[in-house]
Amino acid sequence: MNSIRHTLVAVAVLMSATVTAQTFRQEFGDPRKQFVETVATPNHPDSRYSIGQQATLRVVAREGGVPLEGRTVYYKTGPEMWLPEAYDSVTFVAGEALLPVGTMREPGFLACEYWFRTADGKTCRDLVKLAYSPEQIKTFTPMPQDFGKFWQKVVKEARQVPLEPEYRDVPDATDDRIRTQLVRLHVGKDKWIQGYLSQPLGGGPHPVVLCPPGAGSQKIYPSDYFPKEGCIYLKIEIHDNDQTLPDAAYNQMRQEKCDGYMRRGMESRDTYYYKDVYVGCVRAVDFLCSLPGWDGRNVIVTGGSQGGALTIVTSALNEKVTLCAPFYPALCDLTGFLHQRAGGWPKFFTTFYKDGRVDIPQEQATETLQYFDVVNFARILRVPTFMSWGYNDDTCSPTSVWAAWNEITAPKQCDITPSSGHWRFPSSQAKCLQWMKEGMR
């Protein structure tokens, strides 16, 4: 009886809190704006400058609609990811503060981090990056002479291994329009991957879309975004982690199994973890093209961050791909930090990022990474490419993304949203989808 009484009390408290919240909304309405509103605007609206031009940042801030007055703004500026320790400061006057960001003498990105305290002591903080002649950014990664031969051999060997797909129905993501299955694929001698395969029911044949995952080893989930557009869609997980495990067991398993995977086997191009990952994505496309519902023409690869990197790699290595659509790709210009310039995730050769540690001699690591740096796959990319990224990304630096973009000689279209970070606006996804529709054959 006591447990029942305690349960009833807990439910009553919860209901009371819910009713109170509802009553507050009914009585006073929902706020339609943030109490503290901040906008930072560079003196070049497109955030692009020529080398040597001085940049300033105008920060406008209001609390409850009232301009801040006399409040101190602390800021520091420098090349992105190489900011100094010390802050300078200015004061808000009539809700505005002008920050002298400075300039650059070589192509790249200049960053400004600023913060101030609100009336109740909370901290408002932001990071803004400005582009300096980004179309002139050059990669530090050379192309190995045998780059093409190496990857042709690796892909050829992987294609000798039967895919042996294993299917499991996913009723919660299946209805009268879309059938979803969890599929496991044998994509190399000792390599398996898993993914959610969603296929439109009726009609067809259909284009196929592969979506590689972002970094880490979290669970993936089905999506009906592309199936609703009439495409067969495969969203993959690259570590062969059992997607059916309960969350607690899954999290424990993935931490033990996958921690630090981006550094594993870096001693050699033949043992590096990403070798089987890259080839696994190539074989995932082969699998999609083996399905009877494929239209025999259109093969699209798209993803963001690590998934953006894998999008470029897969599109460069698999001759069946017809459209390549990466967002803010990782693994670009990986040796940038060795040259005192921001490189791409995983930020190798740094001490300020946990995944940036390299456990082998620097020369050995750089020799291996030449075969996996996305800039070298961008150099051999031959299919139409849509790429989108922002300037305020502190995970996949815009410097590294531009280094890859500038190497692409295939037909290309970009959607740059300077204010976005390591994420995309819905409008960017909508532009990408429209580009895909126009590019299908």
Query: Per the residue annotation, which of 239, 400, 422, 428 is the catalytic one?
Result: 422
Active site residue 46: no
Residues 21 and 216: their CA atoms lie apart, in Å, by: 37
CB 158 within 8 A of CB 193: no
Tokens of 395: 């995970």
Measure Cα distances from 170 to 31, 221, 228, 247 in Å.
40, 11, 17, 17
Tell which residue, 117, 107, 112, 151, has the closest CA to residue 128: 112
Does residue 388 have an active-site annotation? no
Partners of 67 in the beta sheet? 62
User: Which residue out of 217, 305, 388, 397 is catalytically annotated?
Assistant: 305
Residue length of the chain: 441
Query: Is residue 220 within 8 Å of 250, Cβ to Cβ?
Result: no
Provide the pairing of β-strand 123-132 with 166-169. Answer: unpaired
Report the candidate in 324, 341, 344 with the shortest Cα–Cα distance to residue 332.
344
Measured CA to CA, the distance from residue 111 to residue 102 in angstroms comes to 10
How far is residue 209's CA from residue 231's CA, in Å, rounded to a whole number?
7
Query: What are the residues facing 38 on neighbouring strands?
Result: 61
Q: Catalytic annotation on 305?
A: yes
- Looking up tokens 């001759």 gives 319
Q: Which of 333, 373, 393, 415 is catalytic?
A: 393
Residue numbers annotated as active site: 305, 393, 422
